[in-house]
Structure 1
Amino acid sequence: MKKNIIILTDSCSMFTAQEAKDNNIGIIPLHIIYQDGTDVLDTEENVIKHNLYEEITKQETKTSQSSLGEIEEFFRESLTKAEKVIFIPVASNLSSQAQTALSIAAKDEFKDKIYVLETFMSASTAQKELALYGNELIKQGLDIEVILEKLKKYSEDTLMYLVPGDLQRFAKGGRGKKLMVNIISFLKIKLAIKWGSEPKKASSSRKIRNILEDIFSKLKEDMKKLKHNFEKAKIYFVYNKHCSEKTLNIIYAFLEENKTNFEESQMPNVVVAHAGLDTFGFIILPETK
């Protein structure tokens, strides 16, 4: 029996295959392309098979959205399982995935059946939790328009700060030109970016400790504007397991000193491919009560 509504997202959400299956959420893989031309579909198996994290240290890597044909195939498959589908793609300021999906959803075949939620904050834990929140709203039996409105508000109230590990790599990927990352990289300065519709420089320093102090000061200001209690907030520390021990030790020491309540989550493979192994960030999600 077909469901009324289901959720579809992409691999930037970092669902494991088992998590996606358990939550009945479809995952469209993005692509990671090596300098030697190898095209790696962003799945757990392929990341291991093609030694992604080792290759990031050896050669330039870039990413690509899912192809038009791949997206159409996933849309058709999803519609065999439900009458309507909400697709939550990676943030539109990180990829053109959302724009491509919107153009496909406008076709007669998918009109009023596929709903694309375009946001600027969908990545990593923020994208994953947005999809899970969508599932909860579906279970409540809400109309799809109400669900989309609530998901959009949830995304707008999400806070995200990103610290690229390799600014030169980040700049080559086209993600940091407006932030003058080439100059900053030359000076060997770390840069913290407040993510949003227009990513902005939040801090710059030679020392990670200074970056962390600035990020948490700004997070408190952001939470105050949203009328949320920072002390009760659940903070996600996002990184990848290949991040250097030195960087991790500095971050863990800071979090412990500040008695920070946090959970760890995985930095998306496509973000690491663009920004380097030492890339990390912090995400605060809104309350859903």
Structure 2
Amino acid sequence: MVEKIALVTDSSCDLPEQILEKYNIHVIPLHIIFKDGDYRDGIDITPREFYEKLNIEEIPSTSMPSPGEIWKLFLKLKEEGYTHILAIHLSSGLSGTFSLVESLKDKVNELGMSLTVINSKALSMGLGFLVIHAGELIRKKIPFQQIIEKIEDLVKETKVFFVLKTLEYLRKGGRIGLVEGTIGDILDIKPIISINKDGIYYSVAKVRGRARSLNKLIEVAREAIGERGVYLAVMHGAALDEAQAVMEKIKKEVNAVQSFIGEITPSLGAHTGHGLIGITFCPAP
């Protein structure tokens, strides 16, 4: 049987529109909930609109897509003749989206399609790079099972590091994980945050002050990358100037085969606030 593989992810992947179109990536939007309504990530609200609206007085909540939204997409994929679905999602330690999509596996099988769901244990362009790799493999007509194995191997090598201006959004959003946030803001202590093997936030290092935290972020990422060639991204939350400065510094110290600067999506920004700077990388093929 000829395999026709659909590539699915969620809006936390932070991939630009041209990449989504290039690899025919199907994106399930997460939801951001303000007092004035429910916004679909990237559809009803853009990052710029979101950060203009965001303030510490009203921290929005986020929610998964509904099962109906996901099922509607899967039915559409069936109608378009797809035989296999590869869904790669935001870390299961940070969102229930992975588990929700996984729960539809039997129903998808009943439609005569095969569904495999991969837990990226990442977010933002950490997830995005995995999706790009999968898109390249699909283009090369690599068999479905081999694609799964290659992406699962890459999950172990993909890293995300970031620093925040304040831990308040992370704390109030219930995503603080293993990061100690009780006295950090008072003492201006900035943890360098990453995601552990269980897909949960934890502190890699702690420094005092914004400038030192950005330098430490670069140092931590550089050590993790080593000498290998990588896809590299610097992501930000309404902090483009700082993101550009960080990218300029780190590109001098690592072998970046491709590099990107981007703004994190509202569904992530709701938990991090203004001023996030993150570095994420994935081994280049």
| TM-score range for the pair, normalised by the shorter chain length | 0.7 to 0.9
Question: C-alpha distance in 1, partners of 2:47/2:125?
Answer: 24
Q: How do 1:239-254 residues align onto structure 2 when only pairs under 5 Å count?
A: 239-240=236-237, 242-243=238-239, 247=242, 251=246
CA RMSD of aligned residues (A): 2.8
Consecutive unaligned residues in structure 2, runs of 5 or more: none
Q: What secondary structure sits across from 1:183 in the alignment?
A: coil
**Any idea what the Cα deviations from partners look like across 1:242-286, whole Å, max 9, x if unmatched?**
2275x5587467558869965312222211111101011001211
- Is the counterpart of residue 281 in structure 1 residue 278 in structure 2? yes
Shift in CA distance, 186/75, structure 1 to aligned 2, threshold 3 Å: farther
Question: C-alpha distance in 1, partners of 2:18/2:69?
Answer: 21
Question: C-alpha distance in 2, partners of 1:71/1:5?
Answer: 17
Question: C-alpha distance in 1, partners of 2:272/2:47?
Answer: 21
Letter in 2 for 1:64: S
Length, aligned pairs only: 277
Partner of 1:158: 158
Shift in CA distance, 159/178, structure 1 to aligned 2, threshold 3 Å: closer
Shift in CA distance, 215/113, structure 1 to aligned 2, threshold 3 Å: same
Letter in 2 for 1:9: T
Letter in 2 for 1:78: L
**Any idea what the Cα deviations from partners look like across 1:33-71, whole Å, max 9, x if unmatched?**
11x151111124x11499322221252112111111111
Letter in 2 for 1:117: I
Aligned partners of 1:6 and 1:135 also within 8 Å: no
Aligned partners of 1:31 and 1:66 also within 8 Å: yes
Partner of 1:130: 130
Question: C-alpha distance in 1, partners of 2:239/2:157?
Answer: 28
Partner of 2:79: 80
Question: C-alpha distance in 2, partners of 1:20/1:258?
Answer: 29
Give the structure-1-normalised TM-score: 0.84
Aligned partners of 1:192 and 1:203 also within 8 Å: yes
Give the structure-2-normalised TM-score: 0.85
By how many angstroms is 1:97 displaced? 0.1
Partner of 2:212: 210
**Any idea what the Cα deviations from partners look like across 1:190-228, whole Å, max 9, x if unmatched?**
22112233432122222233223333333343234xxxx
Aligned partners of 2:33 and 2:62 also within 8 Å: yes
Q: What secondary structure sits across from 2:218 in the alignment?
A: helix
Aligned partners of 1:209 and 1:251 also within 8 Å: no
- Is the counterpart of residue 106 in structure 1 residue 102 in structure 2? no
Q: What secondary structure sits across from 2:178 in the alignment?
A: helix
Partner of 1:38: 37
Partner of 1:237: 234
By how many angstroms is 1:20 displaced? 2.2
Q: What secondary structure sits across from 1:176 in the alignment?
A: coil
Shift in CA distance, 135/258, structure 1 to aligned 2, threshold 3 Å: closer
Aligned identity (percent) is 22
Shift in CA distance, 255/286, structure 1 to aligned 2, threshold 3 Å: closer
Consecutive unaligned residues in structure 1, runs of 5 or more: none
Q: 1:221 aligns with which of 215, 220, 223?
A: 223
Partner of 2:5: 5
Partner of 1:22: 22
Aligned partners of 2:29 and 2:41 also within 8 Å: yes
Aligned partners of 2:165 and 2:210 also within 8 Å: no
Aligned partners of 1:202 and 1:215 also within 8 Å: no
Give the structure with the higher percent strand: 2
By how many angstroms is 1:83 displaced? 1.0
Question: C-alpha distance in 1, partners of 2:211/2:245?
Answer: 7
